[in-house]
Amino acid sequence: MAGRKDPNGANRDIRDDFRAEIREFLGTRRARVTPEQAGLPLYGGERRRVTGLRREEVALLAGISSEYYTRLERGNATGVSESVIEGIAQALQLDEAERSHLLDLLRGAGTTRPPRRRPAQQRVRPTVQRVLDSMAGTPAFILSGRGDILAANHLGRALFSPVYADPVRPPNNARFVFLSPHATEFFRHWDEVAGDTVAMLRAEAGRDLYDRRLTDLIGELSTRSAEFRRRWAAHNVRMHTTGVKLLHHPVVGDLDLPFETFPLPDGPSQFLLTYTAEPHSLSQDALNLLASWAATNDGIEQSAPANDSQSADSSDIPD
């Protein structure tokens, strides 16, 4: 990540971080594709030192020279054409999220701007907050790309009361997932949520390695969670805009809640997140009960179980 060798970004080429990310990302994508999956022949008795593709095999599939691909994988991204990027994406079987991430990294490797200082705190416009509050029967949030909960309506705060129990503000989903001992109970499919969370942070880092708030968060999680470090090293990225979240709320029990995310045009990497329940389902009954509970509990954060994230370590999270 940016600043891992020089936090102030002084006396070094600021493109080095992006070049390192390109090298590690392409290396991990290459390692996961076997010659059989790529449609390449394996000759009898051939002994391979790698299970994935060799650089020259990626170059062959992409229609470029092996020397050119090797320079690109080492981070030399000057003047890379759209056709070359498309060829590499097809050779490595990149999905849409991975292709976008590669484009972000290539763009960053060509920048000459200095690293930004700590950005101003992200704000949510009052009109957006009014939209949230008008969605009385739907838990709704505004999240940043790094997982900060920037705003929520009353039912949203009630639903995520275990996350809000952390005194750090703004509450952060990634910090809760990896540092809170309550996360594995709250998220019934914690392993899937953990993978999606890391993939989201990795994609956000590709868009701007010099977001100090983001690099500080990744540094904190890497220091305090071995599980986060392991997942971060995989360089997985993913678009996670819709699905079903399986939760266990400390007040109303299990909820199976479909979710949708909608990007906001204002502000960097902000999006609206909403949860709904299937009509006439047990989850809808539980959500109605949660709304009744929230209506009589103004101090929702204080009603949640205590969050021990300040003392949690990797032993709190399953391997």
Tokens 């590709």 sit on residue: 206
Backbone angles phi, psi at 14, to 5 degrees: -65, -15
The per-residue DSSP string of 195-228 comes to: HHHHHHHHHHHHH-TT-HHHHHHHHHHHHH-HHH
Show pLDDT as tens, one digit a residue, over the chain (319 residues): 544 444 444 445 556 788 899 999 999 999 999 999 999 887 655 677 777 999 999 999 999 999 999 999 988 877 888 899 999 999 999 999 999 999 989 888 876 555 555 555 678 889 999 999 999 899 999 999 999 999 999 999 999 999 999 888 999 999 999 999 999 999 999 999 999 999 999 999 888 777 888 999 999 999 999 999 999 999 999 887 899 999 999 999 999 999 999 998 865 588 999 999 999 999 999 999 999 999 887 665 544 444 333 333 444 455 4
Q: Which of 125, 158, 147, 134 is nearest to 193 (CA)?
A: 147
The verdict on pTM exceeding 0.85 is no
**Number of other residues whose CB lies within 10 A of the CB of residue 182:** 22
Q: Are strands 149-152 and 242-249 parallel, antiparallel or unpaired?
A: unpaired
Please report, in angstroms and rounded to a whole number, the separation of the first and last CA atoms in the chain. 24
Distance between CA atoms of residues 212 and 209, nearest Å: 8
Q: Which domains does the chain have, with CATH numbers?
A: 14-110 (1.10.260.40), 126-301 (3.30.450.180)
Counted residue by residue, the chain has a size of 319
Distance between CA atoms of residues 42 and 92, nearest Å: 18
